[in-house]
A and B are shown apart, each in its own frame.
Chain A
Amino acid sequence: MSNHFEADDIPQISATFRLQWEEAQDCHVLLYPEGMVKLNPAAGEILKRCDGINSVGLIVKDLQSAFPDADLASDVYQFLDTAYDNQWIQHKSA
């Protein structure tokens, strides 16, 4: 389902990025040296759960209960791959 993550893996925001809610942008953003990525609502919801504590399985479960109308597991895995390839997230360091 994912190139980089299994259900037991624990993702976290990479050290070179900072995730925060920006009122002026009305969205979550990823900040990095002299730059910013604006996130769409779904990306924001996923990344704010990548806290280095919850496993991907738990993140999917949590999102599923927050958004019961959507079948979102495959979307989440797909986005995590994109985020990983962009170096926004990494595996929790052991």
Chain B
Amino acid sequence: MTTNGSNTSLPKPLWLLAELTYKCPLQCPYCSNPMDIARYKDELSTEEWIRVFKEARALGAVQLGFSGGEALVRKDLEILIAEANKLGFYTNLLTSGVGMDEQRIKAFKEAGLDHIQVSFQASSEELNNYIAGNNSFEHKLEMARLVKKYDYPMVLCFVLHRHNEDQVEQILKMSHALDADYVELATTQYYGWALHNRAQLIPSQAQVEAAEAVAHRYQEKYKGKMRIFYVVPDYHETRPKACMNGWGAVFLTIAPDGTALPCHAASELPGLTFPNVRDHSIDWIWTDSEDFNKFRGYGWMKEPCRDCSEKEKDFGGCRCQAYLLTGDAANADPVCSKSPHHEQMVKLVNQANSDANSNTAPLVFRNMRNSKRLTEHKWPVFSKS
């Protein structure tokens, strides 16, 4: 299945995303976590995570993201940061800021944390708190200021969708006022909860174009002071992104229960067995497991990808999007205008264009109650461990 004894051409997992827990004090309806989060009760222990870090580092992983859910929920976060730092990882905490205070920010610094990315839901308190499902805006501002005070690079992240897409200018002004080093204008990715709420989240073409123009204007305006990352949302594109830089090429995600995934949305794909770090070494999972080899390289591709001159640029796009929209994960990502399914994307955007001011269905918020209600009937009778 895998290599012929020589591993020299096998890519290394440079990026390890540690989803420490799916517990989260926020309820953002655009969350890309799986909808069955309530099923993940058996979280890896401190010792198990440390073993994962050691094994991934030995394979060459150098960036480590602490994520979730909300990683701050884990009381052992300080210990995990210290261990990761000792191993030589560049450590990133991707957080809502809820569950953090000055004392913890200081403790993280002492443990060797390199970077804290604070996410906001909007630039206005009202919308932020509505989307987050709690009164977190003022606290987030305070956390952002403390991130600066303790000399971390300040990265702010805003996930854009129909409800905040028109705030990009205010978002960038606010970020500049907070003295941010980087601003990530992330796009909602329609997996998990976001997919469930897609009709209420997808922005219109006009919104996307206006947001892009503002982002580019401010990239010039704040040049040398604040870096602004903006990407056009997939559904509004005609070529797919090089998702995860290719399957099993750079990224390794570990879910709270130890499930290893080539990307954080891959648990939605059918026909994969999802190796668990409790049963296998990271080396085996990365190098030998069937799942990590399934869409590695180009051999799995069908037309129009197989003979496409751009396949080495975008690797056929996102496997999860291909599955969720076409029913077959080996199809071309339907973002691509060469895909026979691309019309579906166009339809969704057209729908959003006409819907923009009339989204009547309520957003389904991401929380354990909704997770149980919507997915419990699908849970396996005997959970894995």
A interface residues (Cβ-Cβ under 8 A, vs B)? 15-16, 18, 20, 22-25, 29, 31-36, 87
Q: Which residue of A lies closest to B88 (CB)?
A: A20
B89 to chain A, nearest CB (A): 9
Residues of A near B151 (CB, < 8 A) are 15
Known contacts A20-B88, A22-B62; A33/B153 CB under 8 A = yes
A23 to B62: give the CA distance in the assembly, Å.
Answer: 10
Cβ of B230 under 8 Å from chain A: no
- Evaluate contact between A24 and B155: CB separation under 8 angstroms: no
Cβ of B12 under 8 Å from chain A: yes
Cβ of B181 under 8 Å from chain A: yes
A18 to B59: give the CA distance in the assembly, Å.
Answer: 20
Residue of B12, B62, B115 near A33 (CB, 8 A) is B115
A25 to B62: give the CA distance in the assembly, Å.
Answer: 10
Residues of B near A20 (CB, < 8 A) are 88
B247 to chain A, nearest CB (A): 19
- Evaluate contact between A24 and B12: CB separation under 8 angstroms: yes
Residues of A near B197 (CB, < 8 A) are none
Interface string of B40-73 (1 = CB under 8 A from A): 0000000000000000000110110100000000
A25 to B60: give the CA distance in the assembly, Å.
Answer: 8
Interface size range of chain B in the complex: 20 to 34
Residues of A near B65 (CB, < 8 A) are 34
A80 to B90: give the CA distance in the assembly, Å.
Answer: 24
Cβ of B117 under 8 Å from chain A: yes
Cβ of B218 under 8 Å from chain A: no
Known contacts A16-B181, A18-B90; A31/B62 CB under 8 A = yes
Q: Which residue of A lies closest to B13 (CB)?
A: A24
A81 to B302: give the CA distance in the assembly, Å.
Answer: 47
Residues of A near B12 (CB, < 8 A) are 24
Cβ of B92 under 8 Å from chain A: yes
B226 to chain A, nearest CB (A): 11
A31 to B113: give the CA distance in the assembly, Å.
Answer: 13
Cβ of B83 under 8 Å from chain A: no
Having A18-B90, A24-B12, A34-B117, one finds 8 other A-B pairs with CB under 8 Å, namely A15-B153, A20-B88, A22-B62, A24-B59, A25-B60, A29-B62, A32-B90, A36-B62
- Evaluate contact between B182 and A33: CB separation under 8 angstroms: yes
A94 to B326: give the CA distance in the assembly, Å.
Answer: 59
23 contacts between A and B (CB under 8 A): A15-B151, A16-B153, A18-B90, A22-B60, A22-B62, A23-B60, A24-B59, A24-B60, A31-B62, A31-B90, A31-B114, A32-B90, A33-B115, A33-B117, A33-B181, A34-B15, A34-B63, A34-B65, A34-B92, A34-B155, A35-B63, A36-B90, A87-B224
